[in-house]
Amino acid sequence: MRAARAYTGRDVIACCGYHGWQDWYIGTTTRSRGVPAAVRELTRTFTYNDLGSLERIFAEHPGRVAAVILEPVGVVEPEGDFLQRVATLTHAHGALLIFDEIITGFRLALGGAQERFGVTPDLACFGKAMANGFPLSAVVGRREIMEVFDEIFFSVTFGGEALSLAAARATIAKLREQNVIEHLWRQGTRLRDGYNALAREVGLASRTQCLGYPPRTVLTFSDVAGTPALAMKSLFQQEVIKRGILIAGGFNLCYAHSDDDVRRTLEACGDALAILARALAEDRVAARLEGPVIQPVFRSA
Ligand SMILES: Cc1ncc(COP(=O)(O)O)c(C=O)c1O
């Protein structure tokens, strides 16, 4: 954000997705305590696949938008050429396009969502899969923009830590040589399709789904009269965890996930979905919970 602001000489940010705990982003959510109002006013949110919501931000802040940052894809697929249209609109207004590829990078494709969808942003950030869990992240971009780092201050206590750089090199070599990303797509597809088939079998297809691109999918639940979605999700997770699979609302694939892991996971999901279907039929979802209902960490403000 500081690089985009320094490069453009502007201060407003338009964002879409999740971007971590720093003031400029978290101030847009219900967890904004401690973020000054002056900072919160500088970030505006827009809606994925809704170009009009981004157009409105440009219209409301003429000549002031420094950057448009988005997760290039989350659970919902981009409609048509949405990403290209975001790029064109952003550049027409003299702002920079930033892809937050913390999740999609080195996962959807080796070159992230930008490779998969053929839209190259001005700046992008990567982390997570890049060094296989080692503490490393990267900001990358066009040379003339990156050169502002020569002027803006950038230094961190652990900046000299080199082990994670070695981990990233080893990880990237392995991703390439062993077709890891293909493996993530294959196992993720089996989990996603398998889950949706199980939901159909117990008559819950309209209440729960596994959505998203196979390397990282998300389980959704929707309210049934009298039973909130979060209670359903809590019971489902409780029963999957009891069967030895730690689950937090989706499938985040890695190279270690074997055919047997997929089979065991689907078996646990099948049992849990059958229990959920029965509890719904008997209106006993809350009664079957052995702990409190899970709560969202935060919501968009
Ligand atoms: C899409 C996305 N952006 C940003 C972040 C935040 O990254 P960091 O914790 O390194 O600031 C995360 C972390 O989960 C993320 O998933």
Q: Model confidence over 278-296: pLDDT tens digits? A: 999 999 999 999 999 999 8
Q: Where in the chain is the domain with CATH 3.90.1150.10?
A: 180-288
Q: Which of 49-58, 66-75, 218-227 has the lowest mean pLDDT?
A: 218-227
**Residue 273 CB neighbour total at 10 angstroms:** 23
Pocket test for ligand 1, best of 73, 102, 252 (most atoms within 8 A of CB): 102
The edge-to-edge listing of strands for the beta sheet with 216-221 is: 208-211, 216-221, 250-252
Q: Do the Cβ atoms of 243 and 280 come closer than 8 Å?
A: no
Please give the distance, rounded to the nearest whole angstrom, from the Cα atom of residue 90 to the centre of ligand 1.
23
Instruction: Give 126's strand partners.
Output: 138
CA of 92 relative to ligand 1 center, distance in Å: 28
Closest CA to 128 of 215, 188, 249, 214: 215
Full-model pTM = 0.95
Label residue 226 left, alpha or beta by phi (over 0 means left) and psi (-120 to 50 means alpha).
left
Residue 301 is predicted with a pLDDT of 77
Measured in angstroms, how far is the CA atom of residue 66 from the centroid of ligand 1? 20
Protein residues whose CB sits closer than 6 Å to any atom of ligand 1 = 18-20, 71, 100, 102-103, 127, 137
Question: What is the chain's length?
Answer: 301
* Dist. CA 160–CA 80, nearest whole Å: 43
Identity (one letter) of the amino acid at 260? D
- Tell the residue nearest (CA) to atom 3 of ligand 1: 19
Whose tokens are 């109002």? That residue is 37
Separation of CA 102 and ligand 1 centre (Å): 6
For residues 161-172, average pLDDT? 96
Residue identifier of the C-alpha nearest atom 11 of ligand 1: 20
Rounded to whole angstroms, what are the CA distances from 166 to 20, 254, 279? Answer: 25, 19, 50
Across residues 200-212, what is the average pLDDT?
97
Q: How far apart are CA 278 and CA 270, in angstroms?
A: 12
The domain defined by 2-176 carries CATH number 2.60.40.10:
no
The CA distance from 20 to 26, in Å, is 7
**pLDDT at residue 3 in the model:** 97
pLDDT at 28: 97
d(CA 242, CA 62): 54
121 Cα: distance to centroid of ligand 1 (angstroms) = 18
Give catalytic residue positions: 18, 100, 128
Residue 187 near residue 178 (C-beta atoms within 8 A): no
The pLDDT tens digits of the residues spanning 85-128 come to 999 999 999 999 999 999 999 999 999 999 999 999 999 999 99
Mean of all residue pLDDT scores within the chain: 96
Q: Whose CA is nearest to atom 4 of ligand 1?
A: 19
Q: Which atom of ligand 1 approaches the CA of 22 most closely? A: 11
| Spatial CA neighbour of 138 closest among 118, 159, 119, 113 | 159
CATH class of segment(s) 180-288:
alpha beta
Probe target for ligand 1 pocket from 2, 23, 103, with the most ligand atoms within 8 Å of CB: 103
Predicted local confidence at residue 299, as pLDDT: 87
Question: Ligand 1, from 13, 16, 19: best to mutate by most atoms within 8 Å of Cβ?
Answer: 19
Do the Cβ atoms of 292 and 24 come closer than 8 Å? Answer: no
Closest CA to 231 of 292, 278, 277: 292
